């Protein structure tokens, strides 16, 4: 009997301790109601790895949500390719200057007013760190408290984007470095000078102890490996527009975030989810939004190898691949075949390409007969084993490398290999770790490779053509370390446009502020791309972003809403909506509960009962023992 009681008491005590450990934290959280809340997800590093110096690597910027803390001068609306004034009220080019007028009455989270000094300080730090904007400007001047101007040395829409979309950091935090940079700059010392390099080295180790901006959400200090919390800044200049009072971000990449989405603990995530997971989300009633990424996988050729350097061979390959099938097997509904193969994303074709240009572009629709005809015209023959042979009788065989960790690109590569092998061009797929693969392509250590086309979250075609012609082609472009890459000649005779210098055209398409002049060059480049095919774009990638409606958040606009022209990353549509109050709002259950008469705290009663149970059990045990 005594033994049985002893076992019972011990069991009860263990159960009680476990129960208490579950109940106590719940009791703690029950004390504060955090509503209305929006829950997003983004990977970040916890201090000491993560830090508040948002200019250098591993800062706690929280990706797209950075602009909810430190705001830019303007937002960008992709549907009509226009900027929306934010911390800036207006801007214009005046002679050699780009002049920006700033909003009055804006304060940082510590109460200090936002002025031109903060904007200048942001760009002074970037000067020290050799930001690419300094190819286009050479001076930043504070005109008055609410006016700042930039001296232009090379006109380009790129500089406007850099200036208007950069989050503004507070002068109060970076004062010491901004002042030193200004001094050195005034002495004519640039980023390459020893003094500036020394200062930059010090700056890399600078770790501000506070994280402030002008944005609607401010740092609370509540951060763990799992999640981070931000609360609303009550003196926010645009407070009526912002409908949420708390922001929580779940830390992690796709594998860590997936269970949170499945548990409906996340309102929106930008991570790339595999089609099977996406299907599960849909079954649970979670909506999938598919915004354009303005980029995708492309089949590149090493043009040091014959016949990959022959345009007719590349065209044959383009005809031999069923790109619709490739898109579907790789990423389901979030991959779309490009109708025109212009080197530009689908969404750029209408605003940037003339109708006559579009009419001229070859879509390279799936046509294996045409591919076979091209090969036969050049002396290739198909053997009894179904494989094509060179005119000398050797079987045509290539290796296709791709980054192993990118699930959609891997699937695309496997499918290309299967399709081309079925067509008769033997392809051996080779997976390479994602950090090594770009190096191999840049070094020219490949035959066929899958890398990206398109400029991603950059709204000017320049970025797309840079990726298409220059990015993997350093030696021919005379840039970087001159690594051979795809070795695509950038000076060629073309059917569409005669003799062309493609590199010059790519850089020229982003020069000046005359959009019509830029369009002419863009059209020319599209025709050149379509004719010469430096790569075969397989499809354009669209997001598959789970968006939960009805739990904490509601009001996601319908799929055809122009807001979804904004990509999920660069000019993130969700950040646009949260800042401007467009669409998204809290559900009724995500609104603070009105104060009512205090009832019994069930959680605390449970804690007291458990403690009482343990005390009684221990008491019985000692009584029996005696």
Partner 1 sequence: MSFKSVVGKIYRNFLVRRILRAFGVIFVTSTLTFFIIRLMPSNPIEIFINQMMAAYGMSYQDAKALALALFTIDLDKPLHQQYIEYLINLFQGNLGRSISISPGTPVMDIILAFLPWTLFSVSISILASFVLGVITGIIAAYRRGGLFDKVMSTFAAIISAIPGYLIGILIIVFIGVQYGLINYMRGAYSAGIRPGFNLQFISDVFLHLAAPFATYVLSTFGGWMLSMKASTISTLGEDYVTVAKAKGLPESRIRTQYVGRNAILPLFTSLAIQLGFIFGGSVLIENIFVYRGVGRLLWSSINARDYTVMQAVFLIITISVVVSNLLADLIYGLIDPRVRVGE
Decide if residue 32 touches partner 1 (CB under 8 A): yes
Decide if residue 243 touches partner 1 (CB under 8 A): no
Mapped onto helix, strand or coil, the DSSP state of residue 565 is helix
Decide if residue 608 touches partner 1 (CB under 8 A): no
The structure tokens listed for 175 are 């004062």
For partner 1, the binding residue among 60, 74, 223, 353 (CB under 8 A) is 223
Q: DSSP E strands: which ranges in 359-422?
A: 381-382, 388-389, 397-403
Q: Which stretch binds partner 1 (CB under 8 A): 40-48, 88-96, 97-105, 370-378?
A: 40-48
Mapped onto helix, strand or coil, the DSSP state of residue 87 is coil
Decide if residue 401 touches partner 1 (CB under 8 A): no
Asked whether the beta carbons of 465 and 158 are under 8 A apart, the reply is: no
For partner 1, the binding residue among 74, 228, 486, 508 (CB under 8 A) is 228
- Nearest approach in angstroms of CB 128 to partner 1 is 8
Q: Cα–Cα distance between 408 and 296 in angstroms, integer?
A: 10
The pair phi, psi for residue 618, each rounded to 5°, is -65, -40
Return the H-helix or E-strand segment holding 609.
Answer: helix 602-625
For partner 1, the binding residue among 96, 138, 265, 367 (CB under 8 A) is 265
Decide if residue 57 touches partner 1 (CB under 8 A): yes
Decide if residue 518 touches partner 1 (CB under 8 A): no
- Binding to partner 1, residues 324-383 (CB under 8 A): none
Q: Cα–Cα distance between 577 and 185 in angstroms, integer?
A: 39
Instruction: Count CA atoms closer than 13 A to 64's CA, side-chain side.
Output: 24
For partner 1, the binding residue among 256, 362, 445, 492 (CB under 8 A) is 256
Query: Angle at which helices 275-283 and 254-262 pack, to 10 degrees?
Result: 20
Contact track, partner 1, 138-167, x by CB under 8 A: ------------------------------
- Nearest approach in angstroms of CB 270 to partner 1 is 13
Q: Chain centroid to CA 24: how far?
A: 39
Q: How far is the CA of 49 from the CAs of 52, 56, 265, 337, in angstroms? A: 10, 12, 26, 41
Q: DSSP E strands: which ranges in 515-608?
A: 535-537, 540-541, 545-547, 553-554, 585-586
- Nearest approach in angstroms of CB 256 to partner 1 is 5
Q: DSSP E strands: which ranges in 154-226?
A: 217-223
Decide if residue 321 touches partner 1 (CB under 8 A): no
- Total residues contacting partner 1 by CB under 8 A comes to 67
Kindly give, in sequence order, each residue whose CB lies less than 8 Å from that of residue 418, ignoring residues fewer than 6 positions away: none
- Nearest approach in angstroms of CB 456 to partner 1 is 6
Contact track, partner 1, 458-477, x by CB under 8 A: x----x--xx--xx--x---
Nearer CB in complex with partner 1: 415/474: 474
- Binding to partner 1, residues 180-199 (CB under 8 A): 191, 197
| Whole-number CA gyration radius for the chain | 29
- Nearest approach in angstroms of CB 265 to partner 1 is 6
Beta-bridge partners for 230: 219, 247
The pair phi, psi for residue 494, each rounded to 5°, is -125, 155
- Nearest approach in angstroms of CB 445 to partner 1 is 11
- Binding to partner 1, residues 117-136 (CB under 8 A): 128-132
Decide if residue 251 touches partner 1 (CB under 8 A): yes
Return the H-helix or E-strand segment holding 407.
Answer: helix 407-423
- Nearest approach in angstroms of CB 438 to partner 1 is 5
The structure tokens listed for 326 are 């490739």
Asked whether the beta carbons of 403 and 434 are under 8 A apart, the reply is: yes
- Nearest approach in angstroms of CB 197 to partner 1 is 8
Q: Cα–Cα distance between 456 and 296 in angstroms, integer?
A: 9
- Nearest approach in angstroms of CB 161 to partner 1 is 10
Q: Which stretch binds partner 1 (CB under 8 A): 220-228, 370-378, 406-414, 586-594?
A: 220-228
Kindly compute the dihedral angle of the four CA atoms of residues 552, 555, 558, 560, in this order, to the nearest 10 degrees.
Answer: -110
Nearer CB in complex with partner 1: 263/598: 263
Nearer CB in complex with partner 1: 201/598: 201
Decide if residue 225 touches partner 1 (CB under 8 A): yes
Across the beta sheet with 535-537, what order do the strands follow?
426-432, 397-403, 448-453, 296-301, 535-537
Decide if residue 436 touches partner 1 (CB under 8 A): yes
For partner 1, the binding residue among 479, 496, 497, 613 (CB under 8 A) is 479
Mapped onto helix, strand or coil, the DSSP state of residue 540 is strand
Binding region for partner 1 (CB under 8 A): 20-22, 24-25, 28-29, 32, 45-51, 56-58, 128-132, 191, 197, 200-201, 204-205, 222-229, 248, 250-252, 255-256, 259-260, 262-263, 265, 433, 435-436, 438-439, 452, 455-456, 458, 463, 466-467, 470-471, 474, 479-481, 569
């Amino acid at each position: 009997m005594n033994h049985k009681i002893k076992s019972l008491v011990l069991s009860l005590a263990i159960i009680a301790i476990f129960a208490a450990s579950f109940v106590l934290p719940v009791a703690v959280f029950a004390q504060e109601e955090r509503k209305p809340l929006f829950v997003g997800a983004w990977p970040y590093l916890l201090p000491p790895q993560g830090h508040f110096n948002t200019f250098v690597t591993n800062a706690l910027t929280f990706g797209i949500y950075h602009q909810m803390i430190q705001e830019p001068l303007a937002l960008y609306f992709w549907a009509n390719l226009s900027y929306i004034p934010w911390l800036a009220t207006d801007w214009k080019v005046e002679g050699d200057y780009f002049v920006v007028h700033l909003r009055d009455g804006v304060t940082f989270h510590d109460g200090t007013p936002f002025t031109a000094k903060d904007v200048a300080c942001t760009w002074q730090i970037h000067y020290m760190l050799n930001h690419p904007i300094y190819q286009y400007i050479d001076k930043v001047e504070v005109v008055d408290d609410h006016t700042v101007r930039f001296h232009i040395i090379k006109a380009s829409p790129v500089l406007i984007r850099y200036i208007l979309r950069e989050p503004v950091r507070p002068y109060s935090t970076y004062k010491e470095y901004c002042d030193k940079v200004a001094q050195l700059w005034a002495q004519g010392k640039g980023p390459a000078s020893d003094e500036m390099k020394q200062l930059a080295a010090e700056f890399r180790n600078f770790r501000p102890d506070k994280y402030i901006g002008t944005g609607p959400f401010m740092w609370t200090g509540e951060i763990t490996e799992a999640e981070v919390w931000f609360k609303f800044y009550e003196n926010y200049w645009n407070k009526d527009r912002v409908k949420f009072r708390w922001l929580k971000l779940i830390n992690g990449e796709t594998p860590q975030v997936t269970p949170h989405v499945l548990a409906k603990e996340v309102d929106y995530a930008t991570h790339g989810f595999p089609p099977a997971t996406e299907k599960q989300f849909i079954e649970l009633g979670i909506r999938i939004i598919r915004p354009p990424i303005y980029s995708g996988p492309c089949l590149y050729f090493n043009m040091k190898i014959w016949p990959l350097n022959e345009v007719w061979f590349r065209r044959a390959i383009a005809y031999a691949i069923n790109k619709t099938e490739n898109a579907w097997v790789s990423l389901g509904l979030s991959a779309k075949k490009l109708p025109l193969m212009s080197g530009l994303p689908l969404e750029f074709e209408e605003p940037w390409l003339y109708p006559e240009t579009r009419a001229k572009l070859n879509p390279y629709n799936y046509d294996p007969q045409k591919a076979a005809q091209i090969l036969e015209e050049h002396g290739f023959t198909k053997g009894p084993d179904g494989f094509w042979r060179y005119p000398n009788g050797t079987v045509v065989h290539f290796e296709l490398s791709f980054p192993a960790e990118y699930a959609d690109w891997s699937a695309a590569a496997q499918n290309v290999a299967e399709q081309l092998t079925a067509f008769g061009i033997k392809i051996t797929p080779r997976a390479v770790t994602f950090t090594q693969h770009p190096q191999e392509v840049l070094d020219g250590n490949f035959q066929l490779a899958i890398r990206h086309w398109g400029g991603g979250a950059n709204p000017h075609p320049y970025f797309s053509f840079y990726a298409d012609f220059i990015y993997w082609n350093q030696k021919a472009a005379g840039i970087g370390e001159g690594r051979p890459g795809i070795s695509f000649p950038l000076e060629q005779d073309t059917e569409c446009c005669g003799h062309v210098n493609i590199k010059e055209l790519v850089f020229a398409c982003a020069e000046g502020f005359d959009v019509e002049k830029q369009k002419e060059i863009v059209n020319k480049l599209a025709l050149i791309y379509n004719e010469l095919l430096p790569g075969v774009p397989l499809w354009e990638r669209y997001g598959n972003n789970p968006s939960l409606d009805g739990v904490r958040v509601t009001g996601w606009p319908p799929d055809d809403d122009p807001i979804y022209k904004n990509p999920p990353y660069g000019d993130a549509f969700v950040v646009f909506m949260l800042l401007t109050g467009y669409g998204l709002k809290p559900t009724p259950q995500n609104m603070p509960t009105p104060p009512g008469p205090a009832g019994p705290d069930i959680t605390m009663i449970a804690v007291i009962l458990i403690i009482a149970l343990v005390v009684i059990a221990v008491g019985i045990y000692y009584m029996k023992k005696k």
